[in-house]
Amino acid sequence: MQIIKDRILVIGACGQIGVELTTELRRIYGSENVLASDLREEHPLLKGTGPYVNCDVMNKEMLHVLVIRHNITQIYLLAAILSATGEKNPALAWHINMQSLLNVLEIAREEKLHKIYWPSSIAVFGPTSPRTNTPQHTIIEPTTIYGISKYAGERWCEYFHAHFGVDVRSLRYPGLISYKSAPGGGTTDYAVEIYHEALRDKEYTSFLSEDTYLPMMYMPDAIRATIELMEAPAEKISIRSSYNLSAMSFSPKEISASIQKHIPEFTIAYKEDFRQQIANGWPQSIDDSQAQKDWNWKPQYDLDAMTEDMLKNLA
Ligand code: VAH
């Protein structure tokens, strides 16, 4: 039997997740088997590490030609407008977040692609969802356009799997923290900015109040979770909308205390902006027992381990 080598297309490869996921996929599958793409020009950390093309995921015909020409068997769709940016242009956020997914799901169906990955977010939950240990199945009434588009996208993923057998898999990422690439206009971006400014200015003004608890995860854990989900046998996957995923929860006050263990003179101030309202509607912690059960999910980084690694790599 001829083993078909997986050939992966990463859409949104220059974003906060895309840069690190593309690098890890190239390490696992071989650089020549992972085609990175984005609207933007190639991220410096990707230059010279494998094939790159400009791709507008909103142009379905062009994307379809790209998939056929490069014998693509898997697509990771990471392009999206995030929560804070989305609230500034709801119609555009809805259009981009939904049409990009529908374009990819249709092509996956037509070309019988092997697997699709599409990220959802804890932003699908709203103020009427239980706020602590938010379950996999519960009341879901998102109040941001980003959350609405991610929830609608989850329903489309489940539909394409049930009706057309598309093997699409998804994770409800918490806020993700990384040092390699900038975050993309989210409400949890404070948890990345704070490390940069702690090192540069020894101070940071948080746009979320000191006791705003949010589910968070260090990028290495998020990348590993994505790969472990995608490599799990199909029969282990019981959730075809999107899996709850969790590692830790912390507040601006707690992350500051963690930083002060390394930079004692660091100080934080608070000046809430419109993103406080978004954060108030999100869970404070997530129950990811279904991911633990189905494909043995287990995080490795807690707040202090993340802080140590972030400050070491940013310094
Ligand atoms: C955002 N970073 O803030 C994203 C994420 C849970 C937050 O979805 O919009």
Q: Tell me if 8-172 shares its fold with 176-216+247-314.
A: no
Atom of ligand 1 nearest to the CA of 84: 9
Q: Which of 171, 173, 195 is nearest to 182 (CA)?
A: 195
From ligand 1's centre to the CA of 311, what distance in Å? 22
Residue 184: per-residue pLDDT: 86
DSSP letters spanning 104-158: HHHHHHHTT-SEEE--EEGGG--TTS-SSSB-SSS-----SHHHHHHHHHHHHHH
Model confidence pLDDT, tens digit, residues 28-58: 999 999 999 999 999 999 999 999 999 999 9
Q: Is the pLDDT of residue 3 over 90?
A: no
DSSP H stretches of helix in 35-89: 60-69, 83-88
**CATH for 8-172, options being 3.40.50.2000, 3.10.20.740, 3.40.50.720, 2.20.25.570:** 3.40.50.720
| Any atom of ligand 1 within 6 Å of the Cβ of 174 | yes
Rounded distance between C-alpha atoms, residue 191 and residue 217, angstroms: 10
| Any atom of ligand 1 within 6 Å of the Cβ of 122 | yes
Rounded distance between C-alpha atoms, residue 68 and residue 58, angstroms: 17
- DSSP-derived secondary structure letter, 79: -
Residues 6+ apart with CB under 8 A from 82: 146, 183, 184, 185, 186, 187
From ligand 1's centre to the CA of 110, what distance in Å? 31
The token duo for 295 is 């494909």
Rounded distance between C-alpha atoms, residue 89 and residue 151, angstroms: 18
Residue-averaged pLDDT of the chain: 97
Ligand 1 pocket: which of 173, 190, 278 to mutate (most atoms within 8 A of CB): 173
Q: Is the pLDDT of residue 183 over 90?
A: no
Q: In the chain, where are the structural domains located?
A: 8-172, 176-216+247-314
Model confidence pLDDT, tens digit, residues 76-118: 999 999 999 999 999 999 999 999 999 999 999 999 999 999 9
| Any atom of ligand 1 within 6 Å of the Cβ of 97 | no
| Any atom of ligand 1 within 6 Å of the Cβ of 286 | no
Q: Which of 146, 190, 204, 301 is catalytic?
A: 146
- Could you please state the CATH topology (level 3) that the domain comprising 176-216+247-314 is classified under: UDP-galactose 4-epimerase; domain 1 (3.90.25)
Distances (CA, A) of 63 to 19, 133, 170, 179, 259: 20, 39, 21, 30, 44
Residue 195 falls in the annotated catalytic set: no
From ligand 1's centre to the CA of 69, what distance in Å? 34
| Any atom of ligand 1 within 6 Å of the Cβ of 244 | no
